[in-house]
Amino acid sequence: MYQRKIPIDYNCGLSVAMEVVGSKWKFCLLDEIHKGIKRPKDLVLAINGISKRVLQNQLRELELHGLLAKTIYTEIPLRVEYYLTETGVSLLPLIVALDKWGMNFAPQLKTILENESFETQM
């Protein structure tokens, strides 16, 4: 993994939160896993645009940070299921709220960004 050069500010809750969860896919991942999609291969299918490699990286970080854990079933073919730890679960209300907020905001953002590129064209 990458060894960061600019340190985290542990005294700012927002910094800490962003560190573990502020990346392109992590909220989505936690959300999907909570909704019941637990296996890597299913997550790749469920999450539009994520690649297998990126998924694995994010899962590993979430696991390392203690938001996820996994169970390995020694079946054939191999089955691995991820689940939210207590810490992970404690984030759920926030994820739900943020998702709702984003859905609400989407049209506004779309309009803004479309006008943006329109003006840039002229």
Partner DNA sequence: ATCAATGGTGATTAATTTATCACTACATGA
Partner DNA sequence: TCATGTAGTGATAAATTAATCACCATTGAT
What is the spatial distance between Cα 61 and Cα 54, in angstroms, rounded to a whole number?
11
Q: Which does 51 bind (CB under 5 to 8 A by kind): its own copies, DNA, none?
A: DNA
Find how far residue 5's CA is from the centre of its chain: 23
Residues near DNA (CB under 7 A): 2, 4-6, 23-25, 39-41, 49-54, 56-60, 70, 72, 76-80
Residue among 34, 40, 42, 87 that touches its own copies (CB under 8 A): 87
H-type alpha helices, the chain: 13-21, 26-35, 40-46, 52-64, 86-121
Q: What is the DSSP letter of 47?
A: S
For its own copies, the binding residues (CB under 8 A) are 6, 8-20, 22-24, 27-28, 31, 48-49, 64-66, 87, 90-91, 93-95, 97-106, 108-110, 112-113, 116
